[in-house]
């Protein structure tokens, strides 16, 4: 299970508290869930860049961190697992440079046609607003690579669309990773992406709707149609035959900004998918009040791996 927007601690203490005091306790007629293994991913949020990234003439604003955050580790994410995490094999791309991504969308000022970031800043910028991680999990005799990220929302910027560009490229990273691109270098210095025979699940709040208008949807569309990806198209629990197809797969409710599909669980094609849902009950269904805890909804997929 991937949990977004939880503080990062080097010892995973915050997520362990949640696990032990909430998930491991039976509530509302639901059985407890045991997750013996946890991983708290380091995050760029709140990490001081020492650069004036929002160009307001002062340093140290939350917008001047490598990823937006008031303090280090804010809005990070963590993995909880019933199966052993192969900790020593985890790959992170926290420091990977945005400019090293082929065909990177460098933000441009529309009026002057000049880059929003100077050459010096552009060469220093990190791609990931939080992190891109490959977490290998041992399930029986198989390894499943959990590929997790949480790209920046494609809003809260100006006409240069710097967050929209970054969101697009944070998602495009996974296409290159699935293609085992040689230019990729992780934080430990290992080159390349995911091997062709590897089993994986891409998970995360990717903050991009394939039908969206405030984002750059080309990257998420490309990922959904990638040859290695099986998009099970999880449906809302309350969806029925009369629900418009554009609404049936929504995963978040942003109030005045509408409902969107922005949260994803995308298995590799060797999974046999039996169920895929978005926990979004109607008012008369059990759990209808639970969803008010967040503007996002839980997305889950049930699948089986054939034996090799």
Q: Residue 183 falls within a domain, yes or no?
A: yes
Domain presence at residue 24: no
Using DSSP, state whether 45 is helix, strand or coil. Answer: strand
In a domain, 110, yes or no: yes
Residue 63: DSSP 8-state: G
pTM for the predicted model, two decimal places: 0.96
Is residue 224 included in any domain, yes or no? yes
Residue 215 lies in a domain: yes
- Digit-by-digit pLDDT tens for the chain (308 residues) are 999 999 999 999 999 999 999 999 999 889 999 999 999 999 999 999 999 999 999 999 999 999 999 999 999 999 999 999 999 999 999 999 999 999 999 999 999 999 999 999 999 999 999 999 999 999 999 999 999 999 999 999 999 999 999 999 999 999 999 999 999 999 999 999 999 999 999 999 999 999 988 899 999 999 999 999 999 999 998 877 777 766 899 999 999 889 999 999 999 999 999 999 999 998 888 889 999 999 999 999 999 987 77
Residue 52 belongs to a domain: no
Residue 238: inside a domain, yes or no? no
Range of the domain at 205: 84-229
| Alpha carbon distances (Å) from 23 to 19, 165, 201, 297 | 5, 37, 22, 17
For the chain, how many structural domains are there in total? 1
| Domain annotation covers residue 8 | no
How many other CB atoms are found less than 10 A from the CB of residue 206? 24
The contacts of residue 195 (CB under 8 Å, 6+ apart) are 180
Measured in Å, how far apart are the chain's first and last C-alpha atoms? 24
């Amino acid at each position: 299970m991937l949990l977004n927007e939880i503080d990062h601690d080097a010892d995973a203490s915050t997520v362990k508290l949640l696990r032990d005091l909430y998930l491991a306790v039976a509530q509302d007629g639901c059985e407890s869930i045991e997750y013996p293994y946890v991983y708290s991913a380091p995050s760029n949020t709140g990490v001081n860049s020492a650069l004036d990234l929002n160009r307001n003439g002062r340093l140290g604003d939350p917008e001047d961190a490598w990823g937006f955050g008031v303090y280090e580790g804010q809005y990070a994410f963590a993995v909880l697992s019933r199966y052993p995490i192969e900790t020593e094999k985890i790959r992170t791309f926290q420091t990977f440079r945005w400019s090293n991504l082929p065909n990177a969308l460098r933000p441009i000022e529309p009026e002057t046609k000049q880059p929003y970031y100077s050459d010096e800043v552009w060469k220093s910028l990190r791609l990931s607003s939080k992190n891109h991680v490959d977490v290998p999990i041992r399930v029986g005799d198989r390894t499943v690579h959990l590929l997790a990220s949480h790209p920046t929302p494609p809003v809260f910027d100006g006409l240069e669309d710097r967050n929209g560009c970054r969101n697009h490229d944070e998602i495009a990273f996974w296409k290159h990773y699935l293609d085992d691109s040689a230019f990729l270098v992780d934080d430990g210095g290992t080159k390349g992406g995911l091997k062709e025979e590897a089993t994986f699940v891409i998970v995360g709040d990717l903050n991009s709707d394939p039908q969206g208008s405030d984002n750059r949807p080309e990257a998420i569309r490309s990922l959904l149609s990638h040859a290695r990806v099986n998009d099970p198209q999880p449906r809302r629990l309350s969806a029925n035959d009369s629900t418009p197809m554009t609404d049936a797969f929504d995963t978040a409710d942003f109030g005045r900004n509408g409902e969107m599909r922005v949260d994803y669980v995308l298995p590799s094609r060797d999974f046999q998918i039996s169920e895929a849902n978005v926990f979004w009950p109607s008012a008369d269904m059990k759990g209808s009040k639970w969803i008010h805890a967040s503007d996002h909804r839980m997305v889950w997929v049930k699948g089986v791996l054939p034996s090799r």
